[in-house]
Amino acid sequence: MKFRHLVTASALLTLASAAAEEQDMLDFVDPLIGTSDGGHVFPGANLPFGMAKAVADVDKETQGGFASNDGLITGFSHMHDSGTGGGSSLGNFPLFPHTGCPDDELNKCTFMKGRRAVKRVEGSVEAKPGYFAVSMENSIRAEMTTTNHTALYRFTFPSNSTMKRQANALPYSPVILADLTDLSNSRTDGKIKVDQVTGRITGNGTFSPSFGIGTYELHFCADFKGAKVRDAGVWINNRAGNSTNYLVVAKDGNNSPPLPAGAYVQFHRPESDQILARVGVSFFSTDQACKNAEREIEDFDFARVREAAEKAWKSKLGVISVDNTGIDKSLQRLFWSGLYRSFISPQDYTGENPLWESDEPYFDSYYCIWDSFRSTHPLLTLMDPHAQALMVRSLLDIYKHEGKLPDCRMSLCKGFTQGGSNADNLLADSYLKGLKDGIDWDLAYEAVISDAEEQPPIWTVGGRGGLASWKKLGYIPTDDFDPVGAGLFTRSISRTIEYSYNDFCIAQMSRDMGKIGDAEKYLERSKNWLNMFDPESRSLVNTTGSRDVDHVDSGFKGFLQPRYLNGTFGYQPPTLCTFLNNFHGCYLNPNGHETYEGGSWLYTFYVPHDQATLIPTLGGPETFVDRLRYLHDTPGLLYVGNEQSYLLFFLFHFAGRPGLSSQYAHKYIPDRFNDTTGGIPGNDDSGAMGSFTSLTMMGLYPMSGQNVYLIIPPFFPEVNITNPQTGKTATIRSVNFDTAYENIYIQGAKLDGETYTKSWLTHKFFTEGGTLELTLGPQESTSWGAEDEDLPPSASTHFWEK
């Protein structure tokens, strides 16, 4: 489809602010959701897709920088990733403030991370879009806001009167130190310099990415305002001095942790008890870091920068409005916060990529596409198609210069591929939904064909492995002989099923580009998942929880199973890698089993493109529904904290039972997805959990990689989504909506006034606008979405339909 017209930037702003006047959605954003119990959310100050992400770093559960636990604050750093399941990303060059040093002796101050760390004041954290603040038990309150490449901190020191009340008050002469470190202590070499007159600190270092290979270099530039410089110098271990103003810490070849080192500035008493610290970052040079900071925050005006950040967030979120009449506040927080987190990453590093010269945009922190293709990118395609198009272009530029599309990428480095070459799905999704904005779709096609046909030497960080077997045998043998490249020879089942879907996504692109031969070829390859289906295999399930009673046969037959080069099937208990049986057994390491981060119970359903074949394969719609319910209802069998589980909430649609999808959505929201700090069942993975939650609450499940949205009733009586490019609004409205969620079953629907019985929509609804009116009731309807012609499409039944 084509966009009818483009709205101007100012029209868009009007649209956004009109929505914002009706309800201030920022009041419902709680960045602290997911900051404990493994969510790993970054809760600090940042702009949508901003490179600068400022927060207090703590020493426990450090992945998002800050966490809602009792960890000590070790500093304030300027770049982060959100929701990562790998190591801790970034957090380079933290600042740390002291009010003064005991006895006014510099060397009685603490410098090293482990020693200077201080408790937060309980209940003092304030987190808002574009703003983060926390008080520390050293009586300093730290606030922060950001522009695209610059963090601005405001440290408020205890005033004279507070200080006097303290028995062991420090002499009031603040020290702010900068540390050549990062969250994961990965620095090899580094350099730091302080201007002893102005107090400007510049520095750089070489660090490691958190879930990938190689290293990256980062630079920073810190300036201070609010107090006169008294003394400035460098520190190493716990000793500081001003006899030199620079320090070079090289790799000492000793394999020891990086030497604690940095620079400091000591100030005279700040006139207003506040010191502002402005820190610019750059991947190019300290010069560029300084220029970024000077250009973006010349005036050190904290209120102005914060306001600009709030405005940026409002305009991103303002394309959606909901009727919130009677809706529980905590559900509203859950909803808006999920949308908010979808705009944290990927991060816009355009103009900051030293790896190659290009006029194309450069986004980074695709962390990882395995996680984000399912809901984050489809949500961005709805809310900010321009940004999604820029991301697609940046992925293609990465392909052009590094040879393969990434599955995961962070800090300018190649990240680990978890399963298939899932950027193929992401590209197909954007292509089928009509994204243009300067995307070179021929190049995109070349990139996905390269994934499908050419195995790279290191397929752990791009492309696919086992391609020879894939082409010859039609599956990834569990004992594959693959001398072509290096990678982890695990996950043969999940790779097979993901490669099948990748090939299906490519087949659709081929079809729509008129490359019919390719379309036929990849459609055929998309059936490969069936080659690992062992119709005879069964699963014993420990449902009794008893040590003595033997596991009971689940009664369901036929699972995806390991399969060898010689064609025979092996056996991996389908419960393996669920909570019932070695939950951690399928991680990305050489001992991982044949299914990635989940069991065969889950993966056997993971055929997003051809449920019409899967359902009879599993015994027909009734058995299929029973089995899917058994998976959801048997405690411990389905873990919903990982992204492959999303599809399983909605597969009931394909069996003509869309009401059950709604039922399970309400089972998990808010029980497993809620607005508490521990309210994410797994890692947020760059907003994957957030985008999934919010889409579900809007009544939509995008079958990412296809032009298909499955429908359930939204959690609000009315939802408007305005496409910022066409200016058209799609409205989903429910008749008989009730806030107690008893009427959660669609009885009938009208699309723009016409009876609509399909349980799914295409993207056209969102680009061209319209009204979908759902009539709800307390019982599952036996007719709506139930007939064959109402079911969402499948490869085997609908592929050639246009």
Q: Which spans of this chain sit near ligand NAG (rule: CB under 6 A)? A: 47, 147-148, 159-160, 189, 191, 196, 204-206, 217, 231-232, 242, 273, 286, 308, 312, 321-323, 348, 479, 542, 545, 547, 564, 566, 568, 670-672, 674, 676, 678-679, 681, 718, 720, 729, 731
Query: What is the Cα–Cα distance from 40 to 111, expressed in whole angstroms?
Result: 27
Question: How is the beta sheet containing 729-735 ordered, strand by strand?
Answer: 320-323, 718-722, 729-735, 770-777, 745-751, 754-755
H or E element, residue 621: helix 621-633
Judging by beta carbons within 10 Å of its beta carbon (0-12, 13-18, 19+), is residue 599 exposed, middle or buried? buried
Helix pair 516-525, 441-453: axis angle to 10 deg: 40
Judging by beta carbons within 10 Å of its beta carbon (0-12, 13-18, 19+), is residue 570 exposed, middle or buried? middle
- Identify the three-state secondary structure at position 12: helix
Q: What is the token pair recorded at 274?
A: 């506040």
Vertex 560: Cα angle to 557 and 561 (nearest 5): 105
DSSP string, 216-260: EEEEEEEEEESS-EEEEEEEETTEEESS-SEEEE---SS-PPPPP
Q: Kindly tell me the sign of the dihedral angle through the C-alpha atoms of 628, 630, 632, 637.
A: negative
Q: CB-wise, 427 or 640, nearer to ligand NAG?
A: 640
How far does CA 752 lie from the centroid of its chain?
34
Query: What is the Cα–Cα distance from 516 to 502, expressed in whole angstroms?
Result: 17
Q: Which conformational region is residue 399 in: left (phi greater than 0), alpha (psi within -120 to 50 degrees), or beta?
A: alpha
Q: CB-wise, 71 or 199, nearer to ligand NAG?
A: 199
Q: CB-wise, 348 or 534, nearer to ligand NAG?
A: 348
Q: CB-wise, 422 or 722, nearer to ligand NAG?
A: 722
Give the strand pairing for 729-735 and 770-777: parallel
Beta bridge partners of 218: 205
Q: Are 666 and 324 in contact (CB under 8 A)?
A: no
Q: CB-wise, 389 or 505, nearer to ligand NAG?
A: 389
3-state helix, strand, coil in the chain (%, to 5): 30, 20, 50
Q: CB-wise, 73 or 383, nearer to ligand NAG?
A: 383
Write a three-state SS string for 292-312. Answer: HHHHHCCCCCHHHHHHHHHHH
Q: CB-wise, 148 or 460, nearer to ligand NAG?
A: 148
Q: Are 632 and 638 in contact (CB under 8 A)?
A: yes
Q: CB-wise, 446 or 536, nearer to ligand NAG?
A: 536
Distance of closest approach, residue 481 Cβ to ligand NAG, in angstroms: 11
Vertex 640: Cα angle to 636 and 641 (nearest 5): 110
Vertex 309: Cα angle to 375 and 159 (nearest 5): 130
CA nearest 697: which of 678, 727, 683, 717? 717
- In the block, tokens 């349980």 appear at 759
Q: CB-wise, 15 or 519, nearer to ligand NAG?
A: 15
| Termini Cα distance of the chain | 12
Q: CB-wise, 510 or 696, nearer to ligand NAG?
A: 696
Q: CB-wise, 147 or 611, nearer to ligand NAG?
A: 147
Q: Are 746 and 658 in contact (CB under 8 A)?
A: yes
Distance of closest approach, residue 544 Cβ to ligand NAG, in angstroms: 7
Identity of the amino acid at 35 = T
Q: CB-wise, 413 or 505, nearer to ligand NAG?
A: 413
Q: Are 310 and 26 in contact (CB under 8 A)?
A: yes
Distance of closest approach, residue 311 Cβ to ligand NAG, in angstroms: 8
Q: Please confirm whether the linkage preceding 257 is cis (ω < 30° from 0).
A: no
Q: CB-wise, 403 or 670, nearer to ligand NAG?
A: 670
Q: CB-wise, 359 or 789, nearer to ligand NAG?
A: 359
Distance of closest approach, residue 55 Cβ to ligand NAG, in angstroms: 18
Helix pair 423-432, 385-402: axis angle to 10 deg: 140
Q: Are 503 and 528 in contact (CB under 8 A)?
A: yes
Distance of closest approach, residue 420 Cβ to ligand NAG, in angstroms: 24
Distance of closest approach, residue 551 Cβ to ligand NAG, in angstroms: 6
Q: CB-wise, 566 or 802, nearer to ligand NAG?
A: 566
Write a three-state SS string for 166-200. Answer: CCCCCCCCCEEEEECCCCCCCCCCEEEEECCCCCC
Distance of closest approach, residue 545 Cβ to ligand NAG, in angstroms: 4
Query: What is the Cα–Cα distance from 730 to 529, expressed in whole angstroms?
Result: 36
Beta bridge partners of 153: 144, 277
Query: What is the Cα–Cα distance from 44 to 24, expressed in whole angstroms?
Result: 20
CA nearest 48: which of 22, 26, 65, 18? 26
